[in-house]
């Protein structure tokens, strides 16, 4: 089953959620890498509120089912991995810059 590349929020709610992401990323991420057009890896700061990150990612996944989120937990770092189909790659631009040539 293919998931539509659409958001179920109205324009005002979508803008508010984008603003939430901007604020959360500014406070919680100390670096990001766009490893592919449809995949971004965001390194969470030491002490970042992972529960807040998870809660917002869950809300995003409910309204925009084409987003996939997962946490990669290492000995010294937690990384939020965000993936979308390549056709929705511009949706990741707010998370991490596009890869060169992408």
Q: Is the pLDDT of residue 7 over 60?
A: yes
Q: Mean pLDDT, to the nearest integer, of 53-70?
A: 94
Give the 3-state secondary structure of the chain. CCCCCCCCCCHHHHHHHHHHHHHHHHHHEEEEEEEECCEEEEEECCCCCHHHHHHHHHHHHHHCCCCEEEEEECCCCEEEEEECCHHHHHHHCCCCCCCCCC
Q: Give the pTM.
A: 0.88
Mean pLDDT, the chain, rounded, equals: 90
Helices 11-28 and 50-63, interaxial angle, to 10°?
150
């Amino acid at each position: 089953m293919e998931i539509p590349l659409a958001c179920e929020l109205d324009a005002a709610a979508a803008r508010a959620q984008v603003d939430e992401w901007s604020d959360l990323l500014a406070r919680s991420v100390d670096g990001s890498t766009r490893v592919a057009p449809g995949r971004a890896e965001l390194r969470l700061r030491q002490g970042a509120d992972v529960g807040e990150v998870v809660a917002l990612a869950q809300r995003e996944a409910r309204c925009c089912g084409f987003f996939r989120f997962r946490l990669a937990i290492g000995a010294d770092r937690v990384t939020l991995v965000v993936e979308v189909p390549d056709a929705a790659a511009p949706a990741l631009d707010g998370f991490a810059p596009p890869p060169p040539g992408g």
